[in-house]
Every structure is written in structure tokens, then in C-alpha cells.
Structure 1
Amino acid sequence: MVHLDLELQAEGLVGETDRLADVVRGVDSSVPVPTCPGWSLSDLIVHVGRGHRWAAAMIADRASERLTWDAVPEGFLPTDADEADVWLRDSARLVLEAVEKTGGEVRVWTPVGGLLPARWWIRRRLHEATVHGADAALALGRAVSLSSGLAADGLSESLDILQAALAFPNREQPPLPEGATLRIDADDDGAQQCWMVRPRGNNIGWTVGGEPAAATVTVRGTSASVFLAMMRRIPATDPRLEITGDREIFDRWLAATVF
């Protein structure tokens, strides 16, 4: 499964936010987060919890413009540990409540240009929690627990976001040179999926499924491994990955797709 339906996205948003809360509960919040340079665990918690509340407020207000970060209702992390835990967990539920009350098809502001249906934010906030949950686990030296379905959907969502972001004219170079192709192969206990990414001017086009084709560079691993690599949470040299073809193309991709 490479695209979760709305119900599974909603379940995932709550589940991944709760998982993050479980990981950070009772630990030193000043621990640095290497995959988010300059951040501590406290910064990461605020980023996720306030980010959920930021999205919920814009959905509830049917916003056509971006809400400033400082104007987010109850956007500050409580100093009491138990209250902070509840604050983080509740933030995901506020997104779902806002979508339900406003209506999933009501169009609101998004950071990818134009207004989109409010339900768009459920998937976006899900994968903020997914990625930053991985950041927290890695910061604490723990294994990243990520289901194949979430990882595959996260990979597809990241390509959607990237495609939208590249539409803006502030990129110095496209992530793939003309004529190059990037193939991403995920194998989860015999269940295989393939994403093909191709340049489209200064942007990209991508497909998933269908017959795999030859590519300039291919990245293989489990859904979780390739997702974490594409999000630069594990290095391209990680033994869980197999990279064949022109590795410089993949290095260029990683350098050009930070968002």
C-alpha cells in the first residue's frame, strides 16, 4: 500500500504523535537531535505540537493566509512534564477535530501554493510526526519503528510536496539533470513497490507501481529504509540500502531536495 486512505491517515496522525510522546516521555529534553542540527528534543516537541495546533487553527478559521507561528493558540509547551505530554498528544486530535467541524473539502491555506481541501493537512501533519518521531528515536539511540504502509505513504507524500515546492522559482538547479532517472525499490517481506522519478524541466514527475524500468540510479531497501534515506535521516552509505548506478545522481538529489 503506497497511499493511505483518509481514515488510516487520521489513525496514523494520532498514533505517530502518541508514539513520539511515548519516546520522549521522561527523558532529558535538552538532548540534541543530530538529524535536526541545532535542535534539542524540546525544540522538536514544540515543532510538532505547535505545528499540529497551527494547522488546526487555520483549518478552524478557514484561513486563506498563513497564520504566524507566534499566534498559534496554546502554542507554548507547558513546563510541567505531565501537562507537556498531554499537550503533545492532544495537538494531533485538534487537527482531526478541526477538519471534522470545518469539513474536509473546505479549502484552506497550505504552504505548497494555493488553497487545498482541509483534509490535506491530516496527511501533512501525519508525516511531520512520522519523520520527527524517527528523529527522536535516533537522538536517543533507539531503533526507528515505522510500518511499511506509513513509510511508503510518507515517501509518496514527500514526492508530492517536493513537486509542489519545485514549482516555485527559487531553486538553483533541478534535483535531477536532464535525461537522468531515479528508481526507488522497496521490498517488505516480498511485497515490492517501485517509484520512478524523472526530471520535468526544473521540476520532477513521478509514478509508483507498474513495471519497473531501467534507471540512472536505483535505491533499494525496505520501505522504512528508503523513506528514511530520502528524508536524509539515514545516510546513503547505510548498510540497509543498496544503491546501484550513478551514485552522484543520488547525492545530487539529496542535496537539492531539502525542504
Structure 2
Amino acid sequence: MTLQEPHQPPPVRLQGSLDHERYCAELLAETGEFRAALRGADLSAAVPTCPDWTLADLARHLGGAHRWAGQLVATRATAGIDPATVPGADGPADETPGALDAWLAEGAERTVAALREAGPDTAVWSWASDHRAGFWARRMTHETVVHRADAALTTGAGYEVAAEIAADCIDEWLQVCALPAAAERWAERAEGLFGPGRTLHLHATDVPPALNAEWFLDLTGDRLVHRRAHEKAAVALRGPLTDLLAVIYRRLPADSDRVEVLGDRPLLDRWLSYASFD
């Protein structure tokens, strides 16, 4: 038994809408789509949405993240692991496209094997408030979804995300943005963002109502509060669900003709500048 300090609240789960096995399956499928986008591409091409990275750098980043998360789960880590100590995380010794493709496949397969063996509720360190293996299944799925957008933008490949996955990806991002650690890290960016009347509405226009792919972001206090809801807001972002996801993750500009912005556009711009892993 591990004793917990009386004043320390229990870890908060970042609850997803899919089960553990679905995340594992989607991680493999999304990695397959990412690999397909790279085949035949110029791996030295610059990635427009990831400054200073080539397509090969993007692939090594994603494959390294998979291996790092897999190592955390496989070892039941109780603290962070230096990525430099994870075997093979820096990429294949052979720089050929075939070797990179095989390395990506192997890393995803190893990580999913570790996740399946652990199950969703096994205790594992994370940088968030959710210290379970299930956190990493969901996080690595959506890490791959977003970086597949980077690959598609670089290579011209098609990019579409299944509705359930895209909606859960937006949910996860808003949950991360609401963490106290995120607010602390991004405090310098928050000027002019929070206050009376500051609300946003995200509305997917291409999915059945049963999916409830609408989000209300309440910034009227000093931190983000969000929920799935159709509510009037100071600014609304409307468009296909995959495109909403791309805008929220800054893979598609908000002035794209694929989405529509109604209301206080500067507030949306401030939110997009604030909510970023940068």
C-alpha cells in the first residue's frame, strides 16, 4: 500500500470516450496511415507546421514518442524517463526510407503490446494528472492523429479522421488545456484571454447530432471550463469535424475557407495563440 499525503487529492483521470482496446487499435491504424503518407515522399522536405523539422525529423519524433511511452508502460515507471535512454528511440541506424518505415511500425507495435499487457488501469507515471497506462494509449493515439496532419500537409496526402476519433481528440486537448499545470505554464500568454464575456463555441457541421460534436469553452473566469454543448458564445468556429480539429491544433488557419468564424474573431485568435504545446 502507498500512503498518500492527507492534503494531496487523488489523480484526476482525463476521461476518454473510447475503450482501451480501441485506442490500441487506432494507434496501430493511425501509425499505418502516417507511414503511408511518407512512402515515396521526399524525406528532406520541410514540414510547414513544425518549423525546423524535415519529414524525416517528424517521423523520428513520432516514432521516438511511441517508444518512450511504451517504455514508461512496460517498466511501470513511477517517474519520467530520459528519452535518450530508451533503446532505439532516436531512429533507425539505416537512414533509408524502408528502414524508417520498418522502425515506425516496430515502435508502434511494441508500444501497443505493452499497453495491451498492462491494461488501462495499471499505474504509470505521466506528465498529466492521469497516472494510468490508459492515459498513454489515448495520448499516443492522438499524438499520431495530429502528426499525421503534419505529414499530409507536407506530402499532399489526404487527411481525414474518423468522427469518434476526431471528437475524442478535441476532448483530450481541452482536458489538457484545463489542467492547472497548463495554466501555469502558459500564464504569460493569458493576457486578454480570460474575463467577462469570453466564450467560444466549436460546432462540427458534418456529423450526426447523436455524436454531439459541439463544445462550449467558458473563459469568463480565470481558467478554462469546457463542456460538450450547443450554446451561444462570443465567437463560434464552424466546419467539418476534421477541419475543426486541424484549426484547434493550428494545422489549418482559422481564415481557411473550409471553416467559418462568427463573432469575435480576435478572441478565437487569442485562444489559438494561448493553447499550444509550443
| TM-score, normalised by the number of residues in structure 2 | 0.86
Native 8 Å contact 2:199 2:220 kept in 1: no
Native 8 Å contact 2:195 2:222 kept in 1: no
Most deviating of 25-34 and 175-184: 175-184
Q: How does 1:209-224 map to 2 (within 5 A)?
A: 209=229, 212-224=230-242
Distance 1:150 1:225 in 2: 13
Most deviating of 234-243 and 163-172: 163-172
Q: Is 1:40 aligned to 2:47, yes or no?
A: no
| TM-score, normalised by the number of residues in structure 1 | 0.92
What amino acid maps onto 1:159 in structure 2? Answer: L
Instruction: State the shift of 1:202 in Å.
Output: 3.6
Most deviating of 87-96 and 163-172: 163-172
Distance 2:186 2:41 in 1: 40
Q: Is 1:87 aligned to 2:94, yes or no?
A: no
Native 8 Å contact 1:110 1:116 kept in 2: yes
Q: Is 1:161 aligned to 2:161, yes or no?
A: no
The equivalent of 1:69 in structure 2 is: 83
Instruction: State the shift of 1:177 in Å.
Output: 1.8
Distance 2:182 2:99 in 1: 39
Distance 1:181 1:170 in 2: 19
Most deviating of 155-164 and 137-146: 137-146
What amino acid maps onto 1:112 in structure 2? Answer: A
- Going from structure 1 to structure 2, the CA distance change for 1:100 and 1:4 (only over 3 Å counts) comes to closer
- Going from structure 1 to structure 2, the CA distance change for 1:231 and 1:169 (only over 3 Å counts) comes to closer
Q: Is 1:29 aligned to 2:43, yes or no?
A: yes
The equivalent of 1:199 in structure 2 is: 219
Native 8 Å contact 2:24 2:116 kept in 1: no
Which of the numbers 231, 247, 252 marks the counterpart of 2:265? 247
What amino acid maps onto 2:53 in structure 1? Answer: W
Instruction: State the shift of 1:168 in Å.
Output: 3.1
Three-state SS of the structure 2 residue aligned to 1:59 is helix
Distance 2:105 2:276 in 1: 27
The equivalent of 1:227 in structure 2 is: 245
- Going from structure 1 to structure 2, the CA distance change for 1:214 and 1:108 (only over 3 Å counts) comes to same
Q: How does 1:107-186 map to 2 (within 5 A)?
A: 107-113=123-129, 116-164=131-179, 165-168=181-184, 171-174=187-190, 176-179=193-196, 180-186=198-204
1:161-207 CA-to-partner distances (Å, cap 9, x unmatched) read 11124243552143832121111001225545210111264421110
Native 8 Å contact 2:77 2:125 kept in 1: yes
Distance 1:16 1:134 in 2: 11
Most deviating of 2-11 and 121-130: 2-11
Gaps of 5+ in 2: 1-15
Native 8 Å contact 1:148 1:222 kept in 2: no
Native 8 Å contact 1:29 1:41 kept in 2: yes
Indicate the percent of aligned positions where both proteins have the same amino acid: 34
What RMSD, in angstroms, separates the aligned Cα atoms of the two structures? 1.9
